[in-house]
Each structure stands twice: as C-alpha cells, then as structure tokens.
Amino acid sequence: MRLAAGMKISDTSDSLLEQAHELLSLALREGAEQAEVYGMTGRSVDIDLRRDTVELASQSFHRGLGLRAVIAGGVGFSSTSDMSLLQFVAKSAVLSARARGADESWRSLPVPEKVVRPDGIFDARLERIGPEECLDLAESMLSGYRTVKGVEPVSGGVACICGTGFVINSLGIDLQETSTLMHASMETIAKAADVATGSEFCNSRSFLPSLEDVGRAAAEMARSSLGGCRAESGIFDVLIKPLAVAELLEYTLLPALAADNVQKGRSSLRGRIGEKISSESLVIADDGLLSGGIDSSSFDGEGVPSQRTVLLDRGILKGYFYDSYTAGKEGIRSTGNAVRSGYSDVPRVGIRNLIVGSSEPQDLLAETKGYLVNGLIGAHTANPISGDFSVEAKNAFFIAPGEEARPLRSLMLAGNIFELLKDIEIGKDVRAVGAIVTPTVKVRMKVVGS
C-alpha cells in the first residue's frame, strides 16, 4: 500500500483503529473470554549505500493487526496485514486458544490506567521527510568519510521512520501513539601494510540535519586501527566502550534480570533481591519514559503505562522487569516491560531503555593503563545463566596515561559478568546504543593477545 501525496501516517491510523475494534468484537463473538488487538501503521524512507554510491532508495508503508484471544488462560494469536481477513484472524486466534488449553498461571489482560507521554519521541520533520532529503543526509555522511585520507566506505545507510502504534483490549484499554526514529550507520575500510575496518552509527527520535560526524568517525576508527601490534596476555585493566558494554550486557546480565528467566530457574540472580551483587557505585534502571529514548512510549506492548524501574541501586539488587503474565504469577503489577517486534509478534519480557549509571562517575581514560575495546565479536555465545563469556575484541587499543593509543592486532577477553560487576568502575561518556544507555566502564579481567 502506498501513501497518497501529502498524506501523513496519522491520517491512516484512524481507519486502522476502527478495523481493530471490529476485530476485537469478532474475537469476543467467536468465544474469547478476553481479547486484545495490537496494531501498527508506519512509513519508512530508506537509503542503502554500497561503497560511495546509492544502491537503493526506497519508501515503504506497512500496517497490520495482531490479535490475542484468551480462553481459560490459554492464549491464541493471529495477525494480518490484509483487512479483508478479520473474520479468519478472529477464528484462528480463538481456535489456537482452545487448542492450547487452560493455563493456571494466567491472570488477566491489563486494565486501563493513566499514562504519561514521554518527551522527545516525535518530530514532525521526520513525519514529512521524503527520499530526496534522505539522499542529502546520506551524502552528508559520505562527505564526512572523505575528510579522512586513505579510507574507503564499505556500506551504510539512512532510515527515517514514522509510525503509529496502538493497543485496545476487551477490558477497556484504548491507547494510541505516534512516534519517529532516524537511524544511520557506516562501515569503512583502511589499507596500508595491513587492513583495518571501522564503523559508526547514530539513532535519534528527532531530525538531524547532518550525518557528517557519523562518516568521519567511521573513517577515523578504521585509520586509527591500522598497524596493529601484538597484545600481551594476562590480567589487565580494560576500558569497555559503550557499544561493547551494550553487546556484553545484552547476552549476560539482561537475561538474568528478566522475570521469565528468573521464574524458570534460568537466572543466577533468582532469589537474590536485597543482596549486594556489584560495586556500590553502580546503578541500573529501566525507563520507558526516558526523554528521547529509543524505546520510550506512553505504554508498553500490552497497554501497561511505562515507568522507571530501578533494578540495581548502589550495588544492591532491587528487582526484575516483568510483563503482565510474569507479574501475574507473583501477584504483583507489571513493570511495563512487555515488548513486541511488530504487529505479527506476541509480547515478551524485554527492556525499554536500560540505563547504566553511577553515583560516582569517573574520568576513566585519563587514569588507565591497559586496554581499550570499542566493540565485540561473539558476545552472543556468552552463557546467560552462568554469565561466563569469551569474546574477541574489535578495534582494540593499548592505552596509558600521557601516551598515544596503540592499535592491537588481536585481543580476546574472557570472564564472568557477575564477577566483573563487583569491582566495576563507571565512566562519564554516556551513549545510547539502541535501547541500552551506558558510559564506558572499567573492569579488571583476563585477556589473551597475539
């Protein structure tokens, strides 16, 4: 489906919302005891780069509805982007619920509560933006890499998105919100006696007039990584930059804080509420209302109001994050952490905007002798239960106070996230990496060089 000239996403959401109410009624008539419809409509303008040329410029529009039908605690699901199939979707979800059978742990879909709209999640300029403006943004990113000699782009892209999401259910929830997102990234390569790569990205809920800094940073990373020397093995202080911190946390600590893993015995933090598990300076919170946050919204994927949830405060484990199902098992309220990847996906427990901070942030770079790591390869192989990991460092350097950083040829990192947290130090250079907001951190750990 294409948008007519001058049409906005908000102009299409009302009709889809009417069809969502129709689908909700159909599900109840088919025999659902409770029902919920999650819907999305959106437009995306994308520019794909291959080397220093535009490989593809596209504009796409998507919309769809996902239905959850509940019978005796059994939940069935069906979705569609074809609005002529609403009757079929309703029947499919109800039949799936009956086939699944009763679930004694199920309590209820959420009920209506007051929501608060976060700041900085919508920009009218991104709602109106067209392919020509996105091409100009891509060119500004390319102009950034050209300021660095001896570097070539490999790939990259720019995406500008505007979408409306809504949740309605048979208990009275009726919520809708329009938001925007801008994403850009570039990968580069530098060649001399050896070869090195570099990358950079940015995400913003607001329009950015230029992406020159993204291209320049990607090129500078590649050039500075040339001439890698051998790294020594042993126990060293390691500065882990925000991108690498986010990659590591995603596959180690975050699974241990998710209520579904805790309840299934797949978390080493089970039963440890109130215990000290990290350095006293460490604070971790999840905030669905963070101003300009990548996953900020008035409500989560089930219509539960977004909130700030403190998970770790001065080293003490304060709690986990929940959706309605996992919260219902313990007779508590959801923390607003039901997330979905789209209308064709059922909600699951996940972070909104995870914020890593400290009561005493430090200038880590000025005082550290050891290694600095910008990215990781293989973080997905970490053991989410034990917290053990062994990864390869990407764009790693040897650093020392008063000395110029020296690039490294190869560096492996191995450790356990729960052990590292006990002596972790937190920096000041906060950056959002997707839904994880973190500064650089300093840990002492085992490294293997070559």
Q: Residue ranges per domain, the chain?
A: 9-224, 234-449
* Regions of the chain with pLDDT less than 50: 1-7
Rounded alpha-carbon distances, angstroms, from residue 283 to 310, 380, 424: 8, 24, 11
Would residue 448 be called left, alpha or beta, if left means φ above 0 and alpha means ψ between -120 and 50 degrees? beta
* pLDDT at residue 447 in the model: 96
* Closest alpha carbon to 208 in 171, 258, 159, 264: 159
* pLDDT at residue 11 in the model: 57
Contact predicate 207/182, CB 8 Å: yes
Q: What is the DSSP letter of 93?
A: H
Report how far residue 176's alpha carbon sits from residue 57's, in angstroms, rounded to the nearest whole number: 30
- Kindly state which CATH superfamily the domain 9-224 is placed in: PmbA/TldD superfamily (3.30.2290.10)
* pLDDT at residue 3 in the model: 43
Please name the amino acid found at residue 172: G
Compute the residue count for the chain.
450
Q: What is the DSSP letter of 415?
A: E
Report how far residue 218's alpha carbon sits from residue 227's, in angstroms, rounded to the nearest whole number: 17
pTM of full prediction above 0.85 = yes
* pLDDT at residue 365 in the model: 84
* Closest alpha carbon to 114 in 289, 331, 290, 344: 289
* pLDDT at residue 1 in the model: 37
The beta-strand segments (E) located in 210-315 are 234-240, 282-287, 308-313
Helix (H, G, I), strand (E, B) or coil at 1: coil
**β-pairing, 282-287 with 406-407?**
unpaired
Report how far residue 177's alpha carbon sits from residue 299's, in angstroms, rounded to the nearest whole number: 9
* Closest alpha carbon to 188 in 157, 212, 216, 219: 219
* pLDDT at residue 4 in the model: 42
